[in-house]
Amino acid sequence: MSEHISKQFDAELEAIRSSVLGMAGLVEDQVRLAMEALSTGNMAIIDKVIEQEERVNEMHVKLDDMCIHMIARRQPAATDLRMVMTVIKSVEDLERIGDKAARICQRAKNIYDAGRLQVPRFAELDHIAEDALDMLSKALDAFARLDAVPASEVIRDDSQLDNEYRALQRLLITIMMEDPRQITLTLDILWIAKAIERIGDLAVNIAEQVIFLVKGQDVRHKTQEEVDSVVHAKRDE
């Protein structure tokens, strides 16, 4: 980032960036714990993730407020303005990811409270969760290091996650057709699988914002080839 005459301006920007990283770490932990809760039925973990949602919401509101005041007081331009806009959009996606994690725990609680201890197709569910977590971790690392290359990899990885989700969806539909007694449980698992797939989509949103921040170009709705071209091109600035 460029040097500023105002050291206070620099300090405020760094405070915003650090707060985003703190929120990101909490949300990533939520997702990991949510999948552990689904696997083990540990009610203490389930309650912890649900309780963490309130902290995530508070951090979201605080960061929005910090960004609004930054724009009003400092009128940032160029890279600094892109940083603020990236934060505003990314923290919204982080809050939505945290919400997905909490809802996964609520579904897990329903499953175990009803005594439905055998989760069908959990191996496949666990696999797509690992892929979504990897995408999220990579997107957050890209933001922390202001690196567009891993951000472009997150966008590329989304196609694989979508394919794996659709394959799991077909398996779950087959289970319901073959054994109607499994419909209630399988619908819960199907909802969880969709939530995991959405976490991957939200990680892509963050990755796209990182590329916008670093390269100054909006890559939303672009092909992978177009994204790669932007990422590897030299900037005029």
The reported pTM is: 0.91
* φ, ψ dihedrals at 123, nearest 5°: -60, -45
Question: Closest Cα partner for 58 from 103, 11, 89, 22?
Answer: 22
Q: What is the CATH number of the domain that holds 25?
A: 1.20.58.220
Determine the pLDDT at residue 182: 84
Averaged pLDDT of the chain: 91
Q: pLDDT of 104-152, one tens digit each?
A: 999 988 888 877 655 555 677 888 999 999 999 999 999 999 999 999 9
Are the CB atoms for 33 and 45 separated by under 8 Å? yes
Q: Burial, 65: exposed, middle or buried (Cβ in 10 Å; 0-12, 13-18, 19+)?
A: exposed
* 149 occurs within a structural domain: yes
* 143 occurs within a structural domain: yes
Determine the pLDDT at residue 1: 47
> Domain range holding 158?
7-232
Sign, CA torsion 128/130/133/137: negative
- Predicted confidence band of residue 59 (pLDDT cuts 50, 70, 90): very high
* 237 occurs within a structural domain: no
Number of domains comprising the chain: 1
Distance of CA 193 to the CA centre of its chain: 15
* 200 occurs within a structural domain: yes
Are the CB atoms for 213 and 83 separated by under 8 Å? yes
